[in-house]
Amino acid sequence: MKFKYKACVVGGCGHVGLPLAITLADAGLNTAILDINEKAVKTINSGIVPFKEIGAEEKLIKVLKNKKLTTSTNNSIISESEYVVIIIGTPIDRHLNPKIEDIHKVTRQIIPFIKNGQTIILRSTVYPGTSRMIAELLRKNNKKVKLAFCPERIAQGYAIEEIKSLPQIIGGIDKASEKSAIKLFSKIADETIVISLEEAELAKLFTNAWRYIQFATANQFFMIADQKGLDFHKILHAIKHNYPRAKNFPGAGLAAGPCLFKDTMQIAAFNNNQFFLGHAAMLINEGFPDYIITKLKAKYDLKKSRVGILGMSFKADNDDKRDSLAYKLKKVLEIEAREVLCTDVYIKEPGFVNPKTLIKNSDIIIVATPHKEYKKLRFKTKQKIVDIWNFYKKGGTI
Ligand SMILES: NC(=O)c1ccc[n+]([C@@H]2O[C@H](COP(=O)([O-])OP(=O)(O)OC[C@H]3O[C@@H](n4cnc5c(N)ncnc54)[C@H](O)[C@@H]3O)[C@@H](O)[C@H]2O)c1
């Protein structure tokens, strides 16, 4: 059967869907985006990437111009695509359990438009067993399709570069599905790694939990040293300097965002809530803002202090504020301090001030997100700077 599009990316206006759609189109494949977000579709059609993603916009403009990329809010575009790549959000609920219903919902939404012979690729991070459930749902609806789970492993902000350079993990429901998924990803990446469907699902979750636990280790070490008045940053330097086995030891910092925490909790849910390392990491990482505030309270009269939060997004040099711990800091400080001032290079919100105003009016400044634009800021001499990242390379304790 001849299809108009090589691939349709469902959720293609999102943080990971859009870079993938652009990359496929840039590789010369006729690519479609299906998304329910009409505003994002309009923005993308005008050649604007609605979030910060290095190198994405110039490629977007190019693929729109050469008509390799089409966007739609109409499900019928599914019928015209050889591959259907699903990459919608997969959050956890208030019980920290995966909201599996979202991926079922989107599958039911596109089922009427699915044609026999197509390949369905799940690229959202999913709870183990989801891909097989989706395959079963399709089979029950008499859809004779191939299905594979191929997780996205890019670091947000660096997707355009990383989609091509990272090996693509592929888990197919059968050999034909595996082969079909390899065929697509070989067009954009040099390396593919084949494992089973469920192994691929776990591989993605393990990747994120591993990072989350590593950050928690550094954060707990920071708190242990800091509580005793010892400089964690000096200790870290001593550990890492010319010592190959500690090369990848991360520094301390606020570890959050839309993926690491929720994917760690998905493993816990998968393992009968028996994920001690994961739960410990959650307590440490999510507890870091409280540690900072408790420490400040012991030293300063916060009720008389103005506290400035420098950077609000969940990570440096990015504009994504989803699940950012800077907002947790803000929330608690609004109770504990006289006043809280916030600033971010990329996020404009009512009440936010510019860095100059923040420095002028704050007694204490917490570097929550070390955007590179803040490197050259000059603070007042008597100002307390809380720099858990050691962004300004001055070391010290809180
Ligand atoms: N953000 C990351 O850095 C990252 C990295 C790797 C993997 N992931 C995983 O990728 C998935 C997507 O994450 P994201 O950050 O891109 O989310 P996102 O919210 O930025 O994007 C999801 C997109 O799906 C669209 N959408 C939602 N429901 C839809 C529907 N029924 N039909 C069509 N479109 C629909 C939304 O409008 C949105 O544009 C998640 O499973 C996440 O865990 C994210």
pLDDT (mean) for 362-372: 98
Over 232-270, what HEC string results? HHHHHHHHHCCCHHHCCCCCCCCCCCCCHHHHHHHHHHH
Q: What confidence score (pLDDT) does residue 339 get?
A: 98
Helix H or strand E segment including 7: strand 5-10
Helix H or strand E segment including 97: none
Residue 2 has pLDDT above 90, yes or no: no
Which is nearest to 82 in space by CA: 48, 121, 108, 47? 121
In the chain, the domains with their CATH numbers are 5-190 (3.40.50.720), 204-386 (3.40.50.720)
Residue 191's pLDDT band, with cuts at 50, 70 and 90, is: very high
DSSP tag of 304: G
109 lines ligand 1 (CB under 6 A): yes
Distance, CA 214 to ligand 1 centroid (Å)?
25
- For residue 209, give the 3-state DSSP assignment: helix
- Residue 214, number of CB atoms within 10 A of its CB: 16
37 lines ligand 1 (CB under 6 A): yes
Atom of ligand 1 nearest to the CA of 17: 16
- Range from 14-23, 47-56, 61-70, 91-100 carrying the lowest mean pLDDT: 91-100
pLDDT digits (tens, 9 = 90+) for 51-64: 999 999 999 999 99
Residue 129 has pLDDT above 80, yes or no: yes
Q: What confidence score (pLDDT) does residue 1 get?
A: 75
Q: Rounded to a whole number, what is the distance in angstroms from the first to the last CA of the chain? A: 65
90 lines ligand 1 (CB under 6 A): yes
In angstroms, rounded to a whole number, what is the distance separating the alpha carbons of residues 257 and 5? Answer: 33
In angstroms, rounded to a whole number, what is the distance separating the alpha carbons of residues 118 and 110? Answer: 12
pLDDT (mean) for 50-77: 98
Q: Please, are residues 213 and 205 in contact by the beta-carbon 8 Å criterion?
A: no
Task: Choose the residue to mutate in 78, 88, 212 for probing ligand 1, maximizing ligand atoms within 8 Å of C-beta.
Answer: 88
Q: What percent of the chain has pLDDT over 70?
A: 100
Q: What is the mean pLDDT of the chain?
A: 97
Q: What percent of the chain has pLDDT over 90?
A: 99
Distance, CA 123 to ligand 1 centroid (Å)?
9
Q: What confidence score (pLDDT) does residue 344 get?
A: 98
Residues ≥6 apart with Cβ < 8 Å to 29: 6, 7, 68, 187
